[in-house]
Amino acid sequence: MLAIARFPQDKPETILSILTLEGVIKRYDTKPLLEGVTFSIEPGEKMGIIGPNGSGKTTLLRIVAGIEPADDGRVWRSNDARVAYLPQQPVFDDAMTVVDAVFDKGDPTMRRLHDYEEAVALLNKSDGSDAALIERVTDLAHELEVAGGWELEAHAEAILGRLGITDTTALVGNLSGGQRKRVAMARALILRPDLLILDEPTNHLDAETIAWLESYLARMNAALLLVTHDRYFLDRVTNNMLELERGRTHRFQGNYSYFLEKKAEREMQRATEDQKRSQLMKQELAWLRRGAKARTTKQKARVDRATALLEAPREAGEKELKLSAASSRLGNKVFDLVGVSKSYEGLVLLDNFSHTFERGDRIGIIGPNGTGKTTLLDMIAGLVTPDSGVVDRGQTVVLGYYDQESRALKDDLRAIEYIKEVAEVVKTAEGDVITAGQMMERFLFAPATQYAMVGSLSGGERRRLYLLRLLMSAPNVLLLDEPTNDFDIPTLVALEDYLDVFDGCLIVVSHDRYFLDRTIDHIFSFEGDGKVKAYPGNYSAFLERQTQETRAAEAEARRPAPPVAPSSVAEPKARKLSYKERQEFEQIEARIAAAEKRKEAIARDLDRSSSDFGKVQALYEETGKLDLQLEKDLERWTELGEMA
């Protein structure tokens, strides 16, 4: 459950930070997880924490929130500061109602607001004639007015509305994981804390809600401590970054983009220093081998320096995840969906949907929760039968389905046994043949971890193991359902790099905007009521087209209405696209998709050619021309789309 933390107030009052950690140490099984962590947060500061899975990010948040004690060190918080903590998996009493879970009754105004919302919900469920309920609502409304609680009530209503929480009398035990996360999120925001601590807040939220939350957090005055894998979210919300690396912290005074820039500079500096040190060691070793006699002070100093260079501990480089697995040959036919429809309990998820999936397709599926995105993947995978229509699968298809629930995981097996069920050896994309254990090491599973039971692994390790088993089956069609949940940023980067060279058919359901921009070139947008609209381009291109369509609709709404025609004149029939216009529409779609692909290629060329001024200048000029043509094509595409 969301926690309000309280800390001892023995820190000197001259220090103005809202929170300070000094020399915090945390160990697990005698192994240090956090070693001497020291940092502070000022009022209004928004700090993102970054680091690989297992580096201690969640543990650090729990220590800050007062949920978990540190083994050593000190944690201070300013007087009377309110701290709200949202964990990855909120825990509630299943017998609580939503209104009980959302409103903190420890604060008098919040308690009145809780009672008021509860009474109003009960009155709305009745026929409105319960005199006792009407009187109670009236009395509580008066108390709120006297206490100045109406501003808080309006704030709470806005938060609940934006998070889609409508039935506050529902039992928390009947809610899905995503709904419980929204309830916990509402509680955290309605509390208006001085320090808000969020652990993976975007999991289980749709793209529209994520965009709203991003905007809300960027505007709020409270301090923020945030862990998230959503890189756009991290970049747009934070103004400070704290990197956890081998138990220690490095602070960067800027957002995620600034962190990446400075991190690259630091890595280059490390490489240069290692190269200089290596050269110096070679010189000193050569001198020692010539048999120098350590008699004089100068000679002895040189021997000491050589010894120190040899004995000095070298900083171990971070192990990197290597995603490399061969895929099977894929023929021309992949999947044909013809007239597919599906409903659940009267809710239409797909209505007469048809599409031919082809080799090389990279499709992202977006839309609000509950509109049928996962159901479509389940039907393609053969796990769900459509109510009507046909799902026709090609003979050469080797399907890899990464589902949200990791249904294929087997908790009663050891990790390496689970992998060996697929293959004892595997062929990599480079053509090498390696054992299952070696493949697991590439996926950052140490030999000891390989023999741990699957059920004992952390959430991130379980998802990584599930991904490894999937890739070892050499799929040529990948279905990925929310693959970014529970993965750290280094793992996501490795997965994106793997998908860059994957030449099969890729279909992704995701709310992670950055991941979609990196991996797909076509969007299926689930609009509700079984309707699916297709858009060329990645997620950013989709947003741009949505903005243009909204502007066009607003301009149309402002246009003066035409004069009413006499009743004797028949209304003109809606005109269909001509054959030439249909051809133009299809050509523009193809042109837009090609331009988006070319822009991605230019971005990669710019990264590789930063030292070649002439080539960089030419690439920038080409980008400018592409942008101008894209703008024209998008305007015409929107115009023809409205006519169609």
Q: Which tens digit of pLDDT belongs to each residue from 43-52?
A: 989 999 998 8
Could you count the other beta carbons within 10 Å of the beta carbon of residue 254? Answer: 15
pTM above 0.75, yes or no: no
280, 239: one domain: no
Mean pLDDT value across the chain: 81
Which neighbouring-strand residues pair with 434? 426
- DSSP 3-state percent helix, strand, coil across the chain (nearest 5): 45, 20, 35
pLDDT-based confidence at 295, cuts 50/70/90?
very low
Tokens 């928004």 correspond to 46
278 and 217 together in one domain: no
Specify the amino acid at residue 29. D
- 106 and 82 co-located in one domain: no
In this predicted structure, the answer to whether residue 40 has a pLDDT above a threshold of 90 is yes
Q: Are residues 522 and 500 in the same domain?
A: yes
Q: What is the pLDDT of residues 73-94, one digit of tens each?
A: 999 888 778 889 999 888 888 8
User: Are 559 and 607 within 8 A, CB to CB?
Assistant: no
Residue 12 has a pLDDT of: 44
**Amino acid, single-letter form, for residue 507:** I
Copy the structure tokens of residue 601: 């290629």
Handedness of CA 533, 537, 543, 544 (dihedral sign): negative
Per-residue model confidence as pLDDT tens digits over 103-125: 877 677 778 888 888 888 888 77
Look at residue 470 and tell me whether its pLDDT is greater than 60.
yes
**87 with 101, same domain?**
no
State residue 89's pLDDT score.
85
Residue range(s) defining the domain that contains residue 184: 1-94+175-254
Q: What DSSP designation does 456 have? A: G
**Is 146 in the same domain as 15?**
no
Phi, psi of 389 (to 5 degrees): 95, 180
Among the three residues 490, 510, 543, which one is the final residue of a domain in this structure? 543
Listed in order, strand segments (DSSP E) in 537-610 are: none
What letters, b where the CB count within 10 A reaches 16 and e where it falls short, cover 324-341? bbbbeebeebbbebeebe
pLDDT digits (tens, 9 = 90+) for 371-416: 899 999 999 999 999 999 999 999 999 999 998 877 788 888 999 9
Residue with tokens 């697990």: 28
* Domain finish residue from 117, 145, 170: 170
**Domain assignment of residue 341, yes or no:** yes
Largest CA distance in the chain: 119
In the chain, how many domains are there? 4
Q: Is the pLDDT of residue 64 over 90?
A: yes
pLDDT in tens, 141-152: 888 887 777 777
| Domain presence at residue 328 | no
| 611: in domain | no
Shared-domain flag, residues 226 and 186: yes
More confident residue, 493 or 316: 493
Query: Helix 489-501 vs helix 459-472: angle between axes, to the nearest 10 degrees?
Result: 10
What is the spatial distance between Cα 232 and Cα 247, in angstroms, rounded to a whole number?
A: 26
Instruction: Tell me how long the chain is.
Output: 644
The pLDDT score that the predictor gives to residue 62 is: 93
Q: What does the pLDDT read at residue 1?
A: 42
The model's pLDDT over 598-642, given as tens digits with 9 standing for 90+, comes to 877 777 776 666 556 567 667 767 777 777 787 777 777 777 766
Task: Assess whether 441 and 527 both reside in one domain.
Answer: yes
Q: Is position 324 within any domain? A: no
Same domain, 6 and 127: no
Q: What is the DSSP string of 290-302?
A: TT--TTSHHHHHH
Q: What values do phi and psi take at 28, rounded to 5?
A: -130, 120
Same domain (yes/no): 470, 455: yes
Q: Does 348 fall in a domain?
A: yes
Domain limit, last residue, from 506, 526, 543: 543
* 185 shares its domain with 64: yes
- Which pLDDT tens digit goes with each residue over 521-568? 999 999 989 999 999 999 988 988 888 887 877 777 777 766 655 544
Residue 357 Cα distances to 337, 434, 508, 539, angstroms: 8, 32, 13, 19
Reported as type and span, the H/E element at residue 537 is none
pLDDT in tens, 178-215: 888 899 999 899 888 899 999 999 988 888 888 899 99
Check: CB of residue 485 under 8 Å from CB of residue 515: no
Q: Is there a single domain that holds both residue 146 and residue 181?
A: no
Residue 606 lies in a domain: no
Which two three-digit tokens encode residue 52? 């690989």
- Is the pLDDT at 57 greater than 50, yes or no? yes
Strands of 362-366's sheet, edge to edge? 399-402, 477-481, 505-509, 362-366, 522-528, 531-536
CA dihedral (607, 609, 611, 613) positive or negative: negative
Candidate from 161-170, 259-268, 312-321, 391-400 with smallest mean pLDDT = 312-321
pLDDT at residue 5 tops 80 = no
DSSP letters of 121-164?
Answer: HHHHHTTS--HHHHHHHHHHHHHHHHHT-HHHHHHHHHHHHHTT
CA distance 308 to 288: 13
CATH number of the domain that 344 lies in? 3.40.50.300
Helices (H), 191-253: 207-219, 231-237
**pLDDT tens-digit series, residues 408-450:** 888 889 999 999 988 888 777 677 788 888 888 888 888 888 9
Q: Is residue 126 part of a domain?
A: yes
Domain assignment of residue 613, yes or no: no
